[in-house]
Chain A
Amino acid sequence: MAQNNYLVEMKDIYKWFSGVCALNGVDFNVGYAEIVGLLGDNGAGKSTLIKILSGYHPPDSGKIFFEGKEQHFSSPREVRSLGIETIYQEAAMVHKMSIMRNIFMGRERGKVDMGFAKYLDIEQMERESMEALEDVNLRLRSPHAIVDELSGGQRQGVAIARAMYFKSKLVILDEPTNNLSVKESEKVLNFIKELKNQGISSIFISHNLYHVYPVVDRVVILSHGEKVGDFQKEETSLEEVTELMVKP
């Protein structure tokens, strides 16, 4: 069993949706402290693969190993408890809530457990929120600022800070640079580099090669439900990857 080389190993994954083959025997691996860019045009199977990995769908066949152990994910919750955190664009944050309440959503710190609910330790959550944000070099005035008032890049930053603070092992980012300005995208890329510095692996999903390329260690290209490329960055070139992505 040589599974120790990889944090995640997905082997020969098949998935059909009402007769349509979304994934046709895909192998997908992520190493430790590795940034993998998952590329492909719309409908290539990226989302399906990620939804399987984050526990939303079971695969129709194929095996998933996490830290060398075979897994049969039954819910997103279970996947999350293993340390896999998925950051979907609009689904990561509750926009009308404060940064602090978002960071601790579902994992609130309590002073007293009253049985039916926990009495929140607000001071501690304030302190820890600021710590978490500092870990990704995100400077925000107050943990009580409402997420709605942040920029898109800052929101991604908060989501990444949360994943990092709660010791995730793998962070999956779904199109994190979509709809962001160049400057903001730059910030998000820095957050992702920071994850790597902390030894956390990440999967960066995008259909825009130019966003992914500067930060990734490896690129995996999907097309029509099949893996058509898997390269270390130094082994390939932008041209080669682009060609694979657009090839019919």
Chain B
Amino acid sequence: MSQTLNKLKRIFLLREISSFIMLFVVIMVFFAISPLFLSRQNVGVVLEIIPELGIVAIGITMLMISGEFDLSVGSVFAFTPIMMVLMINWGMHPILGITTALVMALGIGALNGFITLTFGIPSFITTLGGMMIWRGAVLLITGGWPPFFPPEINTHIIVGRIGIFRTSIFWYAAITIIIWFILERTDFGNWVFATGGNRVAARAMGIETNRVKLFNFMLCSMLAGFTGIIQAFRLRATIPSMGGGLEMEAIAATVIGGTALMGGVGTVIGTLVGSFLIRVIDNGLVMARAPSYWFRVFIGIATISAVILNTYVRERAKKMRC
């Protein structure tokens, strides 16, 4: 008896648990409303759009655990593929175009980190500025019109079809596993938690917290750029407004998954579940024929309830006697 209770307690102490429960409930509700929700085609549709939020959210998770924010991911999400397309249109080899665009995204992350850490200002401010600057840059460069998408680009490795899947879901899976591994199974992961959890202690123990943060800024920005390329390839178009509001969805997914706003706490699996939850609600509302404007309302409700549930479930579990 006490052993089962103990097991139960450990499950309820998991950060991800409330988002897991919510995801399950939401899926069941949508399935009850529309049995087509779990049809082969529809599952395929959901899996097709999930990476375009999920990968961005994973970058945000790493950065947020180390105690920083990035609000510029939505703009980088647009800037990167648009630069890529323009460079290919100027005659650059597609592979080189993709690489150069990703390096630019990496550079934007480095700039975010450099400014934040050098001047000691909140990354909320730096990246809020970045969000406007890079969106502005996109609009300036394109004049607000989608640039011509070069038809010769081979999009197969990134978004090619395999049955009901697109390859982007495998990229998502691989990135999730790699980041999970770094965070949970390497010394660098330990430094990320320590940096966000107590910067003074981490420094006193010889951890170079600024380098940890800078790395995460760069990683987050590059993942956002890469995800932008995924969406551009899927749509075979780059729209200057793409990725608008994505930063908020990514932060919501991260917070729903149990990552602390103030850093030091969080999991990749939680963020994975949070991203699924957001996209499932998105799709489920369509399947239930609800007006699409409901989406934002529900995501708002889901975010707040997940965090409340998270706090409440853990408090209760701590008090469970075994």
Interface positions of A (Cβ within 8 A of B): 76-77, 80-81, 86, 88, 90-97, 101, 104-108, 110, 114, 116-120, 122, 149
CB distance from A114 to the nearest CB of B (A): 8
Q: Output the nearest chain A residue to B260 by Cβ-Cβ distance.
A: A96
Residues in B with CB closer than 8 Å to A117 are 182, 186-189
Given A96-B197, A116-B188, A117-B186: A80 and B264 interface contact (C-beta under 8 Å): no
Interface centre among B185, B200, B201, B265 (most CB of A within 10 A): B201
B205 touches A (CB below 8 Å): yes
Residues in B with CB closer than 8 Å to A122 are 185
**Are B182 and A91 in contact (CB-based, < 8 A)?**
no
In angstroms, Cα B257 to Cα A160, docked, is: 35
**Are A106 and B206 in contact (CB-based, < 8 A)?**
yes
CB pairs A–B below 8 angstroms (29 shown): A76-B206, A80-B204, A80-B206, A81-B206, A90-B200, A92-B204, A93-B198, A94-B193, A96-B193, A96-B197, A96-B265, A97-B264, A101-B190, A101-B194, A105-B190, A105-B194, A105-B201, A105-B202, A106-B191, A106-B194, A106-B206, A107-B206, A108-B187, A116-B188, A117-B186, A118-B188, A119-B185, A119-B186, A149-B318
Q: Output the nearest chain B residue to A110 by Cβ-Cβ distance.
A: B187
Q: Output the nearest chain A residue to B264 by Cβ-Cβ distance.
A: A96
Interface centre among B198, B202, B318 (most CB of A within 10 A): B198
Given A117-B188, A120-B186: A94 and B194 interface contact (C-beta under 8 Å): yes
Interface positions of B (Cβ within 8 A of A): 182, 185-191, 193-194, 197-198, 200-207, 260, 264-265, 318
CB distance from A68 to the nearest CB of B (A): 25
**Are B190 and A104 in contact (CB-based, < 8 A)?**
yes
Residues in B with CB closer than 8 Å to A119 are 185-186
Residues in A with CB closer than 8 Å to B207 are 105-106
Residues in A with CB closer than 8 Å to B198 are 90-91, 93-95
In the complex, the number of residue pairs spanning A and B with C-beta atoms less than 8 Å apart equals 81
Among B187, B197, B204, B205, contact of A120 (Cβ-Cβ < 8 Å): B187
In angstroms, Cα B186 to Cα A76, docked, is: 24
Given A80-B206, A94-B264, A96-B265: A108 and B201 interface contact (C-beta under 8 Å): no
Enumerate the 10 nearest inter-chain pairs by beta-carbon distance, A residue then B residue, closest first.
A108-B187, A94-B197, A106-B205, A117-B186, A117-B188, A94-B198, A91-B200, A106-B206, A118-B187, A96-B264
In angstroms, Cα B121 to Cα A87, docked, is: 28
Given A101-B190, A106-B191, A120-B185: A86 and B197 interface contact (C-beta under 8 Å): no
Residues in B with CB closer than 8 Å to A105 are 190-191, 194, 201-202, 205, 207
**Are A120 and B190 in contact (CB-based, < 8 A)?**
yes
Residues in A with CB closer than 8 Å to B185 are 119-120, 122
CB distance from B292 to the nearest CB of A (A): 39
Residues in A with CB closer than 8 Å to B202 are 94, 105-106
Residues in B with CB closer than 8 Å to A118 are 186-188
CB distance from A97 to the nearest CB of B (A): 6
In angstroms, Cα B187 to Cα A117, docked, is: 6
CB distance from A205 to the nearest CB of B (A): 16
**Are A77 and B193 in contact (CB-based, < 8 A)?**
no
Interface centre among A77, A86, A92, A106 (most CB of B within 10 A): A106
In angstroms, Cα B182 to Cα A108, docked, is: 13
Residues in A with CB closer than 8 Å to B186 are 114, 117-120
**Are B206 and A95 in contact (CB-based, < 8 A)?**
no
Residues in A with CB closer than 8 Å to B200 are 88, 90-91
Residues in A with CB closer than 8 Å to B203 are 76
CB distance from A96 to the nearest CB of B (A): 5
Given A96-B265, A117-B187, A119-B186: A101 and B193 interface contact (C-beta under 8 Å): yes
Interface centre among B186, B187, B202, B264 (most CB of A within 10 A): B187
CB distance from A151 to the nearest CB of B (A): 15
**Are A108 and B197 in contact (CB-based, < 8 A)?**
no
